[in-house]
């Protein structure tokens, strides 16, 4: 067998990774997968506790998706949407319009969550130019937002660790504090919600005429550490935007496709965003694919003669890739055929119970946040004082290395341990996943040391 680890270290620069540390560490090299497990080059199986970074929703090597891709491969792998139409992209667009909020009628494809957001923000910006409101040029965002890693989506983001270095390259946004109850221990969730909404109302009163759109992750801010918004927040934000002529762009890249217990997070509060960004789970976690959906109102503002210059000049080489669209069609069919949404409430309840009994009582767990299949476990050195472990302990990282010994793959967000299993996980596997996480928190935190290789 080839020395995969050595070759990786020779050739690959990994994302979000301190490569000096990587080069000195032992690597886990994945070679295959089956169902809810990935398999390494030594034939060890690991429960995929983060759905291969939040994308794989029906498990790996799902026959229906595999077959759809093979069938598509016998027809065509890719043809361009610039100047040509294609059957699989049409089929998927019809399905997406059918399952998303009723006002959304048109689908613009791209390749990743970041580009889905770039497309959404460029459409929102140009919309106001096309209808003659040139002063509407600012975006409203939430603190701690994450919308991707390209410069436009980073501009909308507010996670300093990732974003501050690029500050000179970014455009300015208007930001309000996210309703994050954990951060405001003196406020009830309801007061926290009102505090955030008061900021929103104030800024909308003062600058509403300059604001093109509010961009937000509805219900759960994933990369921020699974911040779950208080109930009713999204509804109120949508109302305020609607009555002040501010477009609402919902980034459901993380929350979409069943993650929150409904197909889309906006359904929880009956919100119809003007623009909806989708990626991650869209292709079942198989191929890079994203979609930005818009309403008729938005679409129609781009219609005119060529010489009116209302065209949306944006597109990627692989826009609407046929293999990816075929995978996505199959992934959506599985939701119906296997009644996936109907199976979720019981699994979500099982996850809730396990978290309450095995995780919440641990002395290093400061907060357990759950919305459906999205879980964030806040680890702290002193829970009562909410005092974090020193950065050099890299406590989250130590925990996910420890849990590998129990055959579980996790990836933390700093000191927040994330559980984001495939929707196809069984209740037995949920119990195993939570039990293993609890044991690793105990193993690492009961005798904490600075991280070393």
Find the DSSP H helices in 301-450: 322-337, 340-354, 395-404, 427-445
CB-wise, 54 or 389, nearer to ligand PLP? 54
Minimum gap (Å) between residue 239 Cβ and ligand PLP: 22
Q: How far, in Å, are 142, 198, 207, 411 from residue 201 at the CA level? A: 13, 5, 10, 37
Minimum gap (Å) between residue 63 Cβ and ligand PLP: 25
Note the residues at the interface with ligand PLP (CB under 6 A): 112-114, 117, 146-148, 217, 222-223, 251, 253-254, 279-280
Cα 425 to its chain centre, rounded Å, is 19
Minimum gap (Å) between residue 42 Cβ and ligand PLP: 29
Cα 126 to its chain centre, rounded Å, is 25
Minimum gap (Å) between residue 129 Cβ and ligand PLP: 25
- b/e burial code for range 115-147 (CB count within 10 A of at least 16 → b): bbbbbbbbbbbbbbebeeeeebebbbbbbbbbb
CB-wise, 141 or 398, nearer to ligand PLP? 141
CB-wise, 35 or 281, nearer to ligand PLP? 281
3-state SS, residue 38: strand
Cα 87 to its chain centre, rounded Å, is 28
CB-wise, 60 or 147, nearer to ligand PLP? 147
Minimum gap (Å) between residue 328 Cβ and ligand PLP: 14
Strand ranges of the sheet holding 365-371, from the earlier edge strand across to the other edge: 365-371, 374-379, 416-419
Q: Measured at CB, which residue is nearest to ligand PLP?
A: 113
Q: For residues 414 and 227, what is the distance between their CA atoms, to the nearest angstrom?
A: 14
CB-wise, 56 or 112, nearer to ligand PLP? 112
Minimum gap (Å) between residue 1 Cβ and ligand PLP: 31
CB-wise, 136 or 280, nearer to ligand PLP? 280
Minimum gap (Å) between residue 376 Cβ and ligand PLP: 13
Q: For residues 247 and 212, what is the distance between their CA atoms, to the nearest angstrom?
A: 6
| H or E segment to which residue 106 belongs | strand 104-110
CB-wise, 147 or 268, nearer to ligand PLP? 147
Q: What is the DSSP letter of 77?
A: S
Q: For residues 205 and 203, what is the distance between their CA atoms, to the nearest angstrom?
A: 5
């Amino acid at each position: 067998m080839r020395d995969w680890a050595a070759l990786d270290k020779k050739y690959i620069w990994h994302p979000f990774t301190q490569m000096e540390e990587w080069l000195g560490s032992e690597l886990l090299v994945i070679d295959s997968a089956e169902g809810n497990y990935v398999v390494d080059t030594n034939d060890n199986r690991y429960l995929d506790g983060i759905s291969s970074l939040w994308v794989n929703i029906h498990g790996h090597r799902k026959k229906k998706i595999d077959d759809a891709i093979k069938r598509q491969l016998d027809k065509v792998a890719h043809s361009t949407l610039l100047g040509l139409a294609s059957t699989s992209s049409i089929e998927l667009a019809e399905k997406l319009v059918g399952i998303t909020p009723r006002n959304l009628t048109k689908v613009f494809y791209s390749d990743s969550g970041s580009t889905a957001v770039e497309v959404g923000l460029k459409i929102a910006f140009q919309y106001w130019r096309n209808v003659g409101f040139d002063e509407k040029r600012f975006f409203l965002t939430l603190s701690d937002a994450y919308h991707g890693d390209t410069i436009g989506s980073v501009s909308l983001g507010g996670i300093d660790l990732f974003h501050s270095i690029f500050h000179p390259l970014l455009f300015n946004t208007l930001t309000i504090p996210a309703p994050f109850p954990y951060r405001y221990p003196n406020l009830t969730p309801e007061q926290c919600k009102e505090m955030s909404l008061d900021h929103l109302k104030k800024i909308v009163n003062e600058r509403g005429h300059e604001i093109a759109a509010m961009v937000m992750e509805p219900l759960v801010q994933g990369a921020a550490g699974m911040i779950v918004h208080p109930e009713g927040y999204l509804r109120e934000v949508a109302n305020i935007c609607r009555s002040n002529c501010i477009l609402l762009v919902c980034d459901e890249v993380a929350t979409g496709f069943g993650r929150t217990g409904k197909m889309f997070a906006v359904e929880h509060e009956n919100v119809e965003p003007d623009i909806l960004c989708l990626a991650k789970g869209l292709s079942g976690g198989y191929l890079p694919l994203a979609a930005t959906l818009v309403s008729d109102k938005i679409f129609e503002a781009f219609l005119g003669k060529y010489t009116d210059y209302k065209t949306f000049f944006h597109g990627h080489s692989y826009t609407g890739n046929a293999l990816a669209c075929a995978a996505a069609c199959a992934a959506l069919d599985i939701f119906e055929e296997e009644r996936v949404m109907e199976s979720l409430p019981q699994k979500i309840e099982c996850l809730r119970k396990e978290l309450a009994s095995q995780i919440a009582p641990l002395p290093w767990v400061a907060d357990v946040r759950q919305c459906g299949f999205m879980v964030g476990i806040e680890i702290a050195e002193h829970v009562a004082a909410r005092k974090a472990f020193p950065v050099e302990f890299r406590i989250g990282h130590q925990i996910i290395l420890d849990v590998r010994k129990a055959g579980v793959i996790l990836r933390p967000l700093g000191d927040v341990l994330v559980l984001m299993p495939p929707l196809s996980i069984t209740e037995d596997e949920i119990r195993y996943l939570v039990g293993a996480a609890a044991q690793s928190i105990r193993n690492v935190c009961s005798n904490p040391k600075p991280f070393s290789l």
